[in-house]
Amino acid sequence: MELFSEIYSCYYTVVAKILSLSLNNPITKKDICEIIDSNAFSESAFYIMPKLIDGEWNLLKSHDNKYLSKLEGEVKLPLTLLQKSWLKALLFDRRIALFLNKDEVDRLRNYLKDVDPLFNIEDFYYYDSFSDGDNYEDTKYIENFRSVLQALKNKTVITITFESEKGRHISGDYLPCKIDYSSKADKFRIYTAKIRYGKVVCSAIINMRRIKSVGYSEESFKGNISFDEYIEKHKCTEPVVIEISKERNAVERCMLHFASYEKRTEYDEETDKYISYIYYDKKDETELLIQILSFGPVIKVLGPEVFLKQVKERVKRQAELLGI
């Protein structure tokens, strides 16, 4: 299977852009040349212009010394075989029901019936992960997930009732800002802003599985919430510094495992090891601590002292439980 398809070359992209812009509004030759110069090679105008206007493509028609697209709608690039194969594989993922209903899945499977999936879900074995992941087959979970996703897309406030870690039932009006997935925990969680009287009063991270109900809210929020600003505001003052050895493919595993975190990694020639500085949300400190400990001896925590103290306490407690 070819990884590159010619329909995504710069020539196809340029022609698609010209035809989309000239669909309802006439454009001049100068406009066409500027689009070509900005998105293709400098000499491309000599090749593309004649073909578009009166050559073998003949996709533009003259209109008051300007040009209009002859097409009836916008240009939509077809899916490549690689994209179809990837989509076919996703249809067998049990989390697909969170994003597509049964009719949509059935239609796509029928459309892709002659396409081989890029990979088989059964071929993957997840180790060193939690065994109590979210139940993606639960109808209530699916309903809650879709309601949150819809609110996220529409930027609307919703009333969420959920169970806290201590077993208390909490209900409030929240504006979903981001849905986050942990491959290690196999769980979804929502980053939200709690809204009261049209203003943000605090932020909250809610585990999707703990949500009991999602309903309509009379609250609304007119402003804009920048998730980047949220992350910056709640980011730790000092990054966790870890030393990564090369054993057991540790470097590649760490880069993949901590891909969701902001980090900076350097190679230390003297020790022949890698030093990584990981920045994290303060609320994620315990989870990051558990993730680092799961790598065992291939990772050494160098600082900061407060985080290192927690590592020592966890290791000591584990040793006591094992009778070491």
Residue 2 has pLDDT above 70, yes or no: no
What is the arithmetic mean of pLDDT over 236-253? Answer: 88
What pLDDT sits at residue 81?
87
**Can you give the pLDDT at residue 266?**
92
Cα–Cα distance between 210 and 192 in angstroms, integer?
Answer: 14
Task: Give the pLDDT confidence score for residue 4 in this predicted structure.
Answer: 60
Quickly list DSSP for 121-189: GGG----SS-S----TT-HHHHHHHHHHHHHHHHT--EEEEEE-TTS-EEEEEEEEEEEEEETTTTEEE
Listed range (120-129, 215-224, 240-249, 252-261) with the worst mean pLDDT: 120-129
Lowest mean pLDDT among 43-52, 85-94, 115-124, 160-169: 43-52
* Tokens, residue 79: 């899916």
Q: What was the pLDDT predicted at 23?
A: 85
Torsion sign across C-alpha atoms 146, 150, 155, 160: negative
Measured from the Cβ of residue 199, the count of other Cβ atoms closer than 10 Å reads 12
Q: Does 64 score more than 60 pLDDT?
A: yes
Supply the pLDDT for residue 179. Answer: 92
User: In this structure, how many other beta carbons lie within 10 angstroms of the beta carbon of residue 156?
Assistant: 15
What's the DSSP call for residue 77? P
C-alpha 185/C-alpha 130 separation (Å) is: 5
The whole-number average pLDDT for the span 200-226 is 89
More confident residue, 27 or 183: 27
Residue 162 — very low, low, confident or very high, per pLDDT cuts 50/70/90? very high
Range with top average pLDDT, 16-30, 44-58, 122-136, 144-158: 144-158
pLDDT band for position 169 (50/70/90)? Answer: very high
Among 187, 200, 188, CA closest to 157: 200
What's the whole-number mean pLDDT along residues 144-163? 95
Tell me, what's the pLDDT at 31? 86
pLDDT of residue 186: 87
Q: What is the mean pLDDT of residues 57-64?
A: 82
- Whether 231 has a pLDDT exceeding 70, the answer reads no
Determine the residue type at 308: L
Whole-number Å distance between alpha carbons of 218 and 321: 50
* Residue 196 confidence class, pLDDT cut points 50, 70, 90: very high
- Site of tokens 């097409």: 71
Q: How far apart are CA 149 and CA 155, in angstroms?
A: 10
Give the helix ranges, DSSP H, for the chain: 10-21, 29-39, 44-53, 81-90, 102-111, 139-154, 227-234, 250-257, 285-293, 305-321
Render pLDDT for 106-153 as a digit per residue (tens, 0 to 9): 999 999 999 999 998 888 776 666 678 899 999 999 999 999 999 999
Long-range contacts of 228-234 (CB under 8 A, 24+ apart): 230/177, 230/191, 230/193, 230/203, 231/262, 231/281, 234/203, 234/281, 234/282, 234/283
Q: Is the pLDDT of residue 278 over 90?
A: yes
What does the pLDDT read at residue 229?
Answer: 67
Of 277, 269, 273, 272, give the one whose Cα is nearest residue 241: 277
C-alpha span between 168 and 262 (Å, rounded)? 33
Can you tell me which residue has the tokens 């919703």?
A: 158
Mean predicted lDDT score pLDDT of the chain: 86
Q: pLDDT (tens digit, 9 = 90+) per residue, 68-101?
A: 888 887 777 788 888 899 999 999 999 999 999 9
- Tokens for 236, please give them: 């730790």
Angle, CA 249 vertex, CA 245 and CA 253 arms, to 5°: 95
pLDDT at 128: 61
pLDDT of residue 160: 97
Question: Is the CATH number of domain 235-321 3.30.43.10?
Answer: no
Side-chain half-sphere exposure of 87, counting CA atoms within 13 A: 19
Model confidence band, residue 276 (pLDDT cutoffs 50, 70, 90): very high
pLDDT of 1 higher than 60? no
Q: Picking from 30-34, 140-144, 243-247, 251-255, which range would have the lowest pLDDT averaged per residue?
A: 30-34
